[in-house]
Amino acid sequence: MELYFATSNKNKFSEALELFRKNGSVQIKQLKFKHNEIRSDSLEEIALEAVEKAYRKIKKPVFVEDSGLFIESLNNFPGTYSAWVYKKIGNRGILNILKSRNRTAVFRCCIAYANGNKRKVFFGECSGKIALRERGKKGFGYDPIFIPAGKKKTFAQSKELKKALSHRYKAIIALKSYIFNKK
């Protein structure tokens, strides 16, 4: 089975690919997909709208993923605006805004899948905190400033940590389980 991941983000794609590669019967392909995302505070709403467009385009099994970093003391900023905020102010900007505020944060991910008339959503999240400074060179985006709960390293310092705990891996595991178990 060919399953398309519609995304413009090569890092998201390679993380998904790595998880699916372990099972030979599903081939993951990237649909390079740039579109005008709707504005919403809901990852699910954004993902469902995007997968509709992607499915209309290729008419093959496809999923999209909307994700973001939600910082509690900033009223969940940058949340669904994470990609835009990262481009504008980056990790330094987030650290400057946070200053001495509480650093509790959560990474969230919503995958929307479409095939024929079927639509399904899958979620994943990872709680943690924002580091005092950027640490590590692996991963992408906010990985250098995110420390998963109970750990000392940021996601950018440990690929293993990210793989085991990230919001994306949890949502992809849920998607995989649906794909492999559906009749």
Interacting residue ranges for ligand ITT, rule: CB under 6 A: 7-9, 12, 65-69, 82-83, 86, 139-143, 166, 168
State the nearest-atom distance from the C-beta of 64 to ligand ITT, in Å.
Answer: 6
Catalytic residue among 48, 62, 63, 66: 66
Backbone angles phi, psi at 159, to 5 degrees: -65, -35
CB 11 within 8 A of CB 139: yes
* Residues sharing a CB contact under 8 Å with residue 48, sequence separation 6 or more, in sequence order: 112, 119, 121
Tokens of 139: 């991963």
State the nearest-atom distance from the C-beta of 102 to ligand ITT, in Å.
Answer: 20
Q: Is 124 helix (H, G, I), strand (E, B) or coil?
A: strand
Between 8 and 96, CB nearer to ligand ITT: 8
Between 42 and 180, CB nearer to ligand ITT: 42
State the Cα torsion 69-40-118-30 to the nearest 10°: -50
66 is catalytic: yes
Between 16 and 179, CB nearer to ligand ITT: 16
State the nearest-atom distance from the C-beta of 32 to ligand ITT, in Å.
Answer: 9
Residue nearest to ligand ITT (CB): 141
CB 129 within 8 A of CB 102: no
Catalytic residues: 66
